Amino acid sequence: MTKKKLVMIGNGMAGLRTIEEILEREAEKYEITIIGKESYPNYNRIMLSNILQKKMTVEETIMNSYDWYKENHIQLVTGDPVVEVNRNLKYVTTKAGCKFEYDVCIFATGSKAFVLPIPGSTLPSVIGWRTIEDTERMIEIAQSKKRAIVIGGGLLGLECARGLMDQGMAVTVVHLAEWLMEMQLDKKAGELLKEDLEGQGMNFKLQASTSAILGNEDVTGIELSDGTTMEADLVVMAVGIRPFIEVAKESGLEVNRGIQVNDYMQTSDSDIFAVGECAEHDGKVYGLVAPLYEQGKVLADYLTGRDTAGYKGSTTFTSLKVSGCDLYSAGYITEDKDVKGIEIFDSQQNHYKKVFVKDNVIVGAVLYGDIEDGPRFFNMMKKEELLDDYTMVSLLHKGGESVGLSIEDMADDETICGCNGVSKGKIIEAIKTNGLTNVEEVTKTTKAGNSCGKCKGQIGQILEYTLGDDFIAAKPTGICACTDLTRDQIVTQIRAKQLKSSEAVRNQLNFKDKDGCPKCRPALNYYLNMVYPFDHEDEIASRFANERYHANIQKDGTFSVIPQMRGGVTDADQLIRLGEVAKKYNVPLVKVTGSQRIGLYGIRKELLPQVWEDLEMRSASAYGKKTRSVKSCVGKSFCRFGTQHTTQLGIRLEKMFEYIDTPHKFKMGVSGCPRSCVESGVKDFGVIGVENGFQIYIGGNGGTEVTVGQHLTTVETEDEVVLLCGALMQYYRETANYAERTAPWLNRLGFENVQAVLLDQEKQQKLFNRIMKAKAAAGNEPWRQIVDNEFAQSIFEVEEVKV
């Protein structure tokens, strides 16, 4: 059977996605020729800002290599744009005079940067940013010039401005509107964005119109409409794009803003189609990648004879690729008589969320600072989910639901990759069917993550959720697959470069995935908390879901609630409240835990806040990588074998070190005699009371592989026990890899080396002082710095235990 000839005019993202979809459906149907204006194979135009911001190289942005074209028997023409389409004889002609016949022709010519038609706009250092060539030209200019002006404070302009700053230039953004990104953000979010970017050193001139670019042979500055002049060596136009429609118009196709198409992306000529930024559907031209890919899928269906409902338009979303500025915008973002807004603003952390509702359905959302809910809102918009089950005051979380959906909670039809329309279920199916084990394999198979890349963290979470230990077993050379750097190298650079956020670490240390993954995000948050206990703001979104919920998810999707009971000691009032809560919420299981606490099991997630409120008790530190409970026996107060007051010491240790983050869970046990009823020998820090004091054991771990603790020393007083415990914890905090328990840590560093550090009085005291600072930074009990081993009694005050 003779193949039909398909000629694609344009070699960009939308066109190539269409070709990929056609090849997936019916690879032998067409003889394909692709003709591109640029001298590159298909590359990810979204990532040009990453090249400018020194996060990626040109080679890393290539999406379809030259080999890919050869493997799929596609004739590729680069650097020779089409100048004519002869519709009668059905061939196209390039600028070099080459002719290619077609049965089907697809315009995928994209857009061009709009350059303001003002005096001076043709000077050499005036650039409309759109291509790799434009990007390389700006980088070249930045090597010798130091002042740049970016005209346009939209998405593209801000990413460009940040990149030029990374190239060493002083940058001012001139913007016509009252606030930044006014097409995607409301005024409040725009103001927050401006404040953060000014903090990074970016300058702004808002509500300003450029009337001329100054200079004779090259740029020297700009003049505003009010007569103000500003000096500059480089001017970048980022005031918008215009569909490239000239060739289509000359060929007689119907054009308006773009090439007009129907629901099947068909132009006024039945054999010619248009897709991407050059196409106008139902009066709209789209400039974001997600709708362009949706168009490509519809066109591929149509050209391979598959049933399709056609393209019906798209709901779009936007995110910004600028270090330190997290924003998300989707849908309709203006209030009117039919659309009402619901907003929350946390001024302490500069987190702003606003959703727009019409007819009890979300139609838009603007998030700044904390954007974790963005994909959830976007999915609700696409599904037109009614809000009857949601409470408005918590900003559209179901009654009592914690912030953000975990991967476990997401339905299989939830969209993970908005750019490519890939759902959680499709990713899981691909993992299971194809034996995928890493993010790169998932991206290659499903295309999820190969556009803006924002979803790669969630893809990693799905891999971990689906594969369990098989995913964890894949050991990268660095702390995770995002980097080849070790824990020690990262912590050294955090200190040397004074990096104060996970995003800054990933960008400055050139992580492959600038958004991080489920392994490095919590690890970096821990390392930063450890290095800068006062200066680093804890990144809640990087913590595991259990830590955010203050509850542990069980296999049936319900949660366990475990209130704090220091030393396993409780009273009648607490027991009554526990019983009342268990009855009120029909708790299926009430159990005394192995850590001497009472747990309530089988509680639905939406009930967690009410349960905690009714209990009037603090959460036990039972879920995170931090100090856990201190298990103790009754000691000499009641036991005839007891040698020390162990319950009192257990409570004292727990009060002193509770809620302090550690690389992994840190458990303690205090036994009143060598019979060790609380199994102190398999605790990270174990204490056994003897006649002359306390034996100290370290590095004991329970679990699938039990490790018995090693005897560190014997001390005489409780004060010495507390001091040693703090020193051990801090040394562990400062030298262990994140998620490394004390047993392998002790084995790696060597017991004798650790023992030498901990028993050195000066080092011991310094370590203890540092953990006290960590405790103060964590907002725990008041503390006083202890100097020269003089213990202030207030530090060690313990309420008398009443049994």
DSSP 70-96: HHTT-EEE-S--EEEEETTTTEEEETT
Q: How many CB atoms lie within 10 A of CB 214?
A: 17
**CATH, residue 562:** 3.90.480.10
Residues 151-179 have a mean pLDDT of 92
**For residues 134 and 21, is the Cβ–Cβ distance under 8 A?**
no
Cβ neighbours of residue 396 under 8 Å, at least 6 residues apart?
342, 355, 362, 373, 377, 380, 387, 390
Kindly state whether residues 153 and 258 are assigned to the same domain. Answer: no
| pLDDT computed for residue 392 by the predictor | 54
DSSP tag of 47: G
Arithmetic mean of pLDDT, 39-50: 88
The CATH number linked to 138 is 3.50.50.60
Whole-prediction pTM value? 0.58
Specify whether 654 is located in the same domain as 792. yes
Co-location of 642 and 789 in the same domain? yes
In 3D space, the residue among 108, 46, 45 whose CA is nearest the CA of residue 276 turns out to be 108
Query: Do 364 and 280 lie in a common domain?
Result: no
Q: Is 105 annotated as a binding residue?
A: no
- At 713-771, the pLDDT tens digits run 999 898 999 999 999 999 999 888 888 888 889 888 889 989 999 999 999 999 999 88
Residue 70 — pLDDT band, cuts 50, 70, 90? very high
Last residue of a domain, one of 592, 615, 638: 615
What angle separates helix 608-615 from helix 572-584, to the nearest 10 degrees? 150
pLDDT value at residue 452: 67
Query: Both 678 and 721 in a single domain?
Result: yes
Higher pLDDT, 141 or 585: 141
CA distance 409 to 402: 11
In a domain, 16, yes or no: yes
Identify whether 718 is part of a domain. yes
The answer to whether 696 and 686 have CB atoms below 8 angstroms apart is yes
- Residue 584 pLDDT exceeds 50: yes
> For residue 420, what is the DSSP state?
T
Instruction: Give the per-residue pLDDT at 691.
Output: 82
Q: Is 455 annotated as a binding residue?
A: no
Single out the residue in 615, 637, 656 at which a domain terminates: 615
pLDDT attached to residue 595: 67
Of 589, 583, 591, 568, residue with least CA distance to 614: 583
Residue 230 lies in a domain: yes
User: Quick one: average pLDDT of 541-565?
Assistant: 71
Question: What was the pLDDT predicted at 609?
Answer: 81
- Work out the pLDDT band at 323, boundaries 50, 70, 90: low
Residue 798: predicted pLDDT:
33
Average the pLDDT over each of 260-274, 333-347, 632-646 and give the range with the smallest value: 632-646
Share above pLDDT 70 across residues of the chain, in percent, rounded to a whole number: 88
Rounded to whole angstroms, how far apart are CA atoms 484 and 466? 25
Same domain assignment for residues 202 and 172: yes
Q: In terms of domains, do 692 and 559 share one?
A: no
Assess if residue 423 is contained within a domain: no
292 falls within a domain: yes
* Paired tokens of 278: 């050059």
Q: Is the pLDDT of residue 451 over 90?
A: no
Q: Are residues 273 and 335 in the same domain?
A: no
Domain count within the chain: 5
Q: What is the DSSP string of 535-590?
A: TSPP-GGGS-HHHHHTSEE-TTS-EEE-B--GGG---HHHHHHHHHHHHHTT-SEE
Output the domain CATH number for residue 740.
3.30.413.10
pLDDT, position 787: 27
**Bridge partner list, 243:** 111
Is it the case that residue 321 has pLDDT exceeding 60?
no
pLDDT in tens, 289-300: 888 989 999 999
Quick check: 797 pLDDT over 80?
no
Which residues, in sequence order, are CB contacts of 257 under 8 Å at separation 6+? Answer: 243, 280, 285
Tell me the two tokens of residue 125: 């250092």
Pair (776, 651) in one structural domain: yes
673 is in an annotated binding site: yes
**Token pair of 229, please?**
């002049």
Residue 465 located in a structural domain:
no
480 marked as binding residue: no
Residue range 642-673, pLDDT digits in tens: 677 777 888 888 888 887 889 888 888 888 88
Mean of pLDDT over the chain: 84
Cite the DSSP H helix spans in 53-176.
Answer: 58-61, 66-71, 132-142, 155-166
Verify that 656 and 789 share a domain, yes or no.
yes
* Residue 74 and residue 99 in one domain: yes
Highest mean pLDDT among 88-97, 363-372, 532-541: 88-97
Sheet order of strands, 99-101 included: 82-86, 91-94, 99-101
pLDDT confidence tier of residue 405, bands split at 50, 70 and 90: low
Query: Looking at 584, 615, 646, which one is the last position of a domain?
Result: 615
Q: Which domain holds residue 60?
A: 4-111+243-303
pLDDT at 399: 41
689 in a structural domain: yes
Q: Name the least confident of 92-101, 176-185, 496-505, 707-716.
A: 496-505
Domain match, 631 and 770 both: yes
Confidence band (pLDDT; 50, 70, 90) for 424?
confident
Contact between residue 262 and residue 254 where contact means Cβ atoms under 8 Å apart? no
pLDDT at 801 over 60: no
Output the CA–CA distances (angstroms, integers) from residue 80 to 7, 75, 87, 112, 649, in the order listed: 14, 13, 20, 16, 80
- Residue 249, in any domain of the structure: yes
